[in-house]
C-alpha cells in the first residue's frame, strides 16, 4: 500500500499566509513520504515470514516511528481539508455540527471555549474535536505530537494543528491565541457537517444490517 499526497488548493486565508501554507504542505508531503518509506522497510523484515530476535530492535523502532508519521499524515489531511478561503464566522444554527455542540456541551459557545482552550495548552500537538460513534457526542481532546492522545474509535470532526510550524512565519511563538483566532476565521463548517453526515450514514447502514 503506497499513499499519495493529497492536493489542497489553499491560498488567501485570513491570518495564515500563503508562505505558511506552502511550507506546511511541504511538511505534510514529508509525512506521506516517510509513512511509505517506513511501511516498505517494515515489509522487508516480514519477507521471510517472521521477525527474529536480532531484527526486533530495528523493527520496533520502525513500528514506533510509523505511529508518528502515519498520524502526522492523516491529521494534516483533516486539517487542510477543514480550512477554506472566506470560511469562518459561526456555523448556522441549524447546521448538524452546531446542533451537535448544543447537545454535547450545552451550547456552541461553551464548545468553542473548550476547543480554543485545548488549542492553547502548552506543548506541541493538536486540538481535535471528535465524535464518539457509539453515543454521537462530541468531545475535544489534546494530542501530543501526532500520536499520543488520539481516542481509539472516535472520529475526528474538527482538527487544528498547534505545532509552532503552523504559525511561526505569521506570529511570534507567544502569539498562538492570534493564530487560533485566525484558524477559526477560515474554518469550512460545511466539511464538518459532511464528516458528521458520513458517520450518521455509516451508523444507519450498520443498524439496518443488524
Ligand atoms: Fe503541521
Strands (E), 89-177: 125-131, 138-144, 155-161
CA 136 to chain centre: 19
Distance 69 CA to ligand 1 centre (A): 12
Q: Is 98 helix (H, G, I), strand (E, B) or coil?
A: helix
Distance 127 CA to ligand 1 centre (A): 12
| CA atoms within 13 A of residue 141's CA, in its CB half-sphere | 19
Distance 208 CA to ligand 1 centre (A): 39
Distance 51 CA to ligand 1 centre (A): 33
Distance 125 CA to ligand 1 centre (A): 9
Distance 173 CA to ligand 1 centre (A): 15
Cα–Cα–Cα angle for 7, 192, 138, rounded to 5 degrees: 130
DSSP state of 133: T
Distance 53 CA to ligand 1 centre (A): 36
pLDDT in tens, the chain (210 residues): 899 999 999 999 999 999 999 999 999 999 999 999 999 999 999 999 999 999 999 999 999 999 999 999 999 999 999 999 999 999 999 999 999 999 999 999 999 999 999 999 999 999 999 999 999 999 999 999 999 999 999 999 999 999 999 999 999 999 999 999 999 999 999 999 999 987 665 655 555 443
Rounded Cα–Cα distance for residues 162 and 145 (Å): 10
Distance 160 CA to ligand 1 centre (A): 9
Amino acid at each position: 500500500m503506497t499513499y499519495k499526497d493529497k492536493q489542497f488548493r489553499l491560498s488567501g486565508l485570513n491570518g495564515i499566509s500563503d508562505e505558511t501554507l506552502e511550507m506546511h504542505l511541504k511538511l505534510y508531503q514529508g509525512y506521506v513520504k516517510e509513512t511509505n518509506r517506513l511501511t516498505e522497510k517494515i515489509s522487508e523484515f516480514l519477507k521471510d515470514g517472521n521477525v527474529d530476535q536480532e531484527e526486533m530492535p530495528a523493527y520496533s523502532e520502525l513500528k514506533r516511528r510509523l505511529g508518528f508519521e502515519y498520524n502526522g499524515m492523516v491529521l494534516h489531511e483533516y486539517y487542510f481539508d477543514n480550512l477554506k478561503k472566506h470560511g469562518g464566522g459561526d456555523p448556522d444554527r441549524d447546521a448538524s455540527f452546531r446542533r451537535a455542540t448544543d447537545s454535547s456541551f450545552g451550547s456552541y459557545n461553551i464548545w468553542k471555549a473548550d476547543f480554543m482552550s485545548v488549542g492553547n495548552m502548552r506543548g506541541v500537538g493538536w486540538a481535535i474535536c471528535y465524535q464518539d460513534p457509539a453515543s454521537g457526542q462530541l468531545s475535544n481532546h489534546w494530542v501530543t505530537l501526532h500520536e499520543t492522545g488520539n481516542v481509539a474509535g472516535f472520529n475526528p470532526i474538527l482538527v487544528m494543528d498547534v505545532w509552532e510550524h503552523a504559525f511561526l512565519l505569521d506570529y511570534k511563538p507567544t502569539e498562538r491565541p492570534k493564530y487560533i483566532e485566525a484558524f477559526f476565521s477560515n474554518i469550512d463548517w460545511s466539511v464538518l457537517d459532511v464528516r458528521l453526515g458520513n458517520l450518521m450514514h455509516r451508523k444507519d447502514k450498520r443498524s439496518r444490517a443488524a
